[in-house]
Amino acid sequence: MNLKILEKISYGMYIISSKNNSNKINAQIANAVIQITSRPPKIAIAINNNNLTCDFIKETDLFCISILPENFPLKMIGLFGFRSGREINKFENLNYKLTANGLPYLAETLGFIECKVINKINEGTHTLFTGEVIDCEFLNDASPMTYSYYHEIKRGGNSKNAPHYNKE
């Protein structure tokens, strides 16, 4: 069985943010995001159970998705994708805004989608969260970054917490 084929499933690149009950914010890079219904609009995300963002989403039942453009800096992807919020404040020295519910998003993204969790399923390494869209904003009309673009053009790496990570 060649699990490399799983890397050919089409994904986008996103920042998923949340907060805890003390209003501490955190975010991470994710690629497992899909819209699952239109009325009402619902989104599903898969978040690694070891990530601080997962803990925050479970605590507050809120998450925010920021859609990354192709020109989003690789250094920023590294900050949100390869560093832990348990060790650093990822938003320190960054220009970010907060949604009405206090979830952070970066103005350099295409926009944000804020969701209230309506269902969660533990799938082993990841929790699958379904959220109903409670707010969203279109910020810019650039091309969205795909996971293929991130790997092939930007030459980005794989996180051990990614859904398709396979230790070879």
For the chain, the three-class secondary structure string (H helix, E strand, C coil) is CCHHHHHHCCCECEEEEEECCCCCEEEEEECCEEEEEECCEEEEEEEECCCHHHHHHHHHCEEEEEECECCCCHHHHHHHHHCCCCCCCCCCCCCEEECCCCCEEECCCCEEEEEEEEEEEECCCEEEEEEEEEEEEECCCCCECEHHHHHHCCCCCCCCCCCCCCCC
pLDDT, residue 165, reads 44
pLDDT, residue 47, reads 97
Average pLDDT, the chain: 91
Task: Tell whether the model's pLDDT for residue 166 goes beyond 60.
Answer: no
d(CA 111, CA 99): 12
Enumerate the domain spans of the chain.
10-152
Report pLDDT digits (tens) over 47-100: 999 999 999 999 999 999 999 999 999 999 999 998 999 999 999 999 999 999
| Structure tokens belonging to residue 90 | 């990822």
3, 61, 54, 59: which is closest to 28 by C-alpha?
Answer: 54
Q: Do the Cβ atoms of 66 and 28 come closer than 8 Å?
A: no
Superfamily of domain 10-152: Electron Transport, Fmn-binding Protein; Chain A (2.30.110.10)
Region 126-138: what's the mean pLDDT?
Answer: 97
